């Protein structure tokens, strides 16, 4: 997929997401959701509007939700995984603070689920090296990687992600735009597995939000690893400072024009998402007020939205024993499900001796 075809894939996925929203409205319980994050830093507004908010909404509508902490995948673009304990704890704190409920949602780390990882082996046999080499997100991540050469893990992690998604037979994956090529690999693997061995896995759909690619303060994709984020756990003052420092452009009048004014439009979108308003209306409201007025509006809107999240996060921070227990319970539940799926896979493949 080139940049153009990624844009085309996004248009197709947006159309499909609208159809899926209708199905969710009718019967959310028909969906099993899997999605997750790498413990490479603090979750940020790109995560919140790109996928976290959808997770909570789907959970509250009655879908079964699995949230994965992709700790092995930290090693795709760096030699050693640093601050793992701190980042993993931070992710679980953020999940709880935004409203994921461990009584209904399974939160787990894939390194703690051996049977899930074993699915990687048959799945690797179902994709070709050229297919892996073509993945535009992997290419982009290689360009931003901290390593001198490309590791086997970097090239194959989309296949590992197929194991993450299919171990629990998820049929819906709320993600940002960068994940679309990976989800396509998962869909190919599910189909090919069925053709060769029988129907064990569903073919899952991506669910895009209204913010499939939120930009960071430097005008490129907001990413934990790129130092351009507005973290969910930042204080109100830090948040306002980061937003004040965000890149804009030289045109004074504020408009919403993502193609020609990506940085300004991303700020407009942030305010619109936080206020639940249309971005064009938000831009028209700021108009000649310029970038300073826009940034002020964004900071107030984001801080108002996040105030209750921060308060809940601070409460959970006082009970880290509970936070760890949530993860242990999730690991246990995911392991039971993965063991059952692996047994079925081995039966389908004739590996029952
Ligand atoms: P890293 O830079 O370490 O890769 P990241 O910020 O890209 O971190 P991930 O853990 O790779 O975060 O992504 C977790 C989920 O959040 C994925 O579904 C991804 O598509 C989504 N996501 C990440 N960044 C954004 C963004 N800027 N806009 C929308 N969705 C995003
Ligand atoms: Mg990423």
Nearest CA to ligand 1 atom 23: 47
Which of 101, 156, 149 lies closest to 123, judged by CA? Answer: 156
Return the pLDDT at 200.
97
Nearest CA to ligand 1 atom 21: 176
Cβ within 8 Å of residue 219, ≥6 positions away: 247, 262, 263, 266
Tokens standing for 346? 């081995």
- Ligand 1 centroid–CA 37 distance in Å is 7
Residue 301 CB neighbour total at 10 angstroms: 20
Residue 26 CB neighbour total at 10 angstroms: 8
Q: Where are the domains of the chain?
A: 3-211+320-348, 224-317
The domain defined by 224-317 carries CATH number 1.10.240.10: yes
Q: Which sign does the torsion angle of CA 77, 78, 84, 90 carry?
A: negative
- Ligand 1 centroid–CA 345 distance in Å is 30
The helix (H) or strand (E) run that includes residue 156 is helix 152-166
Please tell me the distance from the alpha carbon of residue 174 to that of residue 179, in angstroms, as a whole number. Answer: 9
Residue 183 CB neighbour total at 10 angstroms: 21
Return the pLDDT at 4.
64
Q: Which residues pair with 105 in a beta bridge?
A: 65
Atom of ligand 1 nearest to the CA of 179: 20
Cβ within 8 Å of residue 274, ≥6 positions away: 298, 301, 302, 304, 305
From 135, 183, 224, 246, mutation site for ligand 1 pocket: most ligand atoms within 8 A of C-beta: 224
pTM: 0.94
Mean pLDDT, each 10-residue run in order, the chain (353 residues) = 77 96 97 96 95 96 98 93 95 98 98 98 98 94 87 96 98 94 97 97 96 94 92 97 96 96 96 97 96 98 97 97 98 98 98 95
* Number of the ligand closest to the Cα of 223: 1
131: left (phi over 0), alpha (psi -120 to 50) or beta: alpha
For 3-211+320-348, the fitting CATH number among 3.40.50.720, 3.10.310.40, 3.40.50.620, 1.10.510.10 is 3.40.50.620
Q: Which residues line ligand 1 (CB under 6 A)?
A: 35, 37-38, 40, 46-47, 50-51, 175-176, 178-179, 211-214, 221-225
- Ligand 2 centroid–CA 37 distance in Å is 8
Tokens standing for 229? 């984020």
Tokens standing for 190? 């599910």
Identify whether the C-beta of residue 166 lies closer than 8 Å to the C-beta of residue 131.
Answer: no
- Ligand 2 centroid–CA 198 distance in Å is 33
- Ligand 1 centroid–CA 350 distance in Å is 38
From 41, 43, 51, 136, mutation site for ligand 1 pocket: most ligand atoms within 8 A of C-beta: 51
Return the pLDDT at 6.
85
Return the pLDDT at 1.
55
């Amino acid at each position: 997929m080139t940049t153009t075809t990624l844009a085309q894939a996004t248009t197709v996925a947006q159309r499909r997401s609208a159809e899926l929203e209708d199905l969710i409205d009718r019967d959310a319980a028909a969906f099993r959701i899997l999605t997750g994050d790498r413990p490479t830093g603090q979750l940020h507004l790109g995560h919140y509007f790109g996928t976290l908010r959808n997770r909570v909404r789907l959970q509250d509508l009655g879908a079964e939700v699995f949230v994965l902490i992709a700790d092995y995948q930290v090693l795709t673009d760096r030699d050693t995984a640093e601050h793992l304990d701190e980042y993993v704890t931070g992710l679980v704190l953020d999940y709880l603070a935004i409203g994921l409920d461990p009584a209904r949602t399974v939160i787990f780390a894939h390194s703690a689920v051996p049977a899930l990882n074993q699915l990687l082996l048959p799945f690797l046999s179902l994709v070709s090296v050229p297919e892996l080499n073509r993945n535009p997100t992997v290419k982009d991540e290689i360009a931003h990687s901290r390593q001198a050469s490309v590791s086997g893990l970097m090239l194959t992690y989309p296949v590992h992600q197929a194991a993450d998604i299919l171990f629990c037979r998820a049929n819906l994956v709320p993600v940002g735009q960068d994940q679309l090529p990976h989800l396509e690999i998962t869909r190919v693997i599910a189909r090919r597995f069925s053709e060769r061995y029988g129907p064990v896995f569903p073919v899952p759909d991506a669910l895009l939000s209204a913010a499939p690619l939120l930009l960071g303060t430097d005008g490129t994709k907001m990413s934990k690893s790129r130092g351009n984020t507005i973290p969910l756990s930042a204080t109100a003052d830090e948040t306002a400072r980061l937003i004040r420092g965000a890149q804009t452009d030289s045109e004074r009048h504020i408009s919403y024009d993502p193609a020609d004014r990506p940085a300004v439009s991303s700020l407009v979108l942030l305010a619109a998402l936080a206020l639940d308003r249309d971005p064009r209306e938000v831009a028209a409201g700021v108009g000649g007020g310029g970038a300073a007025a826009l940034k002020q509006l964004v900071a107030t809107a984001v801080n108002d939205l996040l105030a209750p999240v921060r308060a809940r996060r601070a409460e959970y921070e006082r009970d880290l024993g509970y936070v760890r227990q949530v993860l242990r319970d999730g690991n246990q539940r995911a392991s039971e499900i993965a063991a059952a799926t692996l047994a079925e896979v081995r039966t389908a493949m004739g590996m029952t001796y």
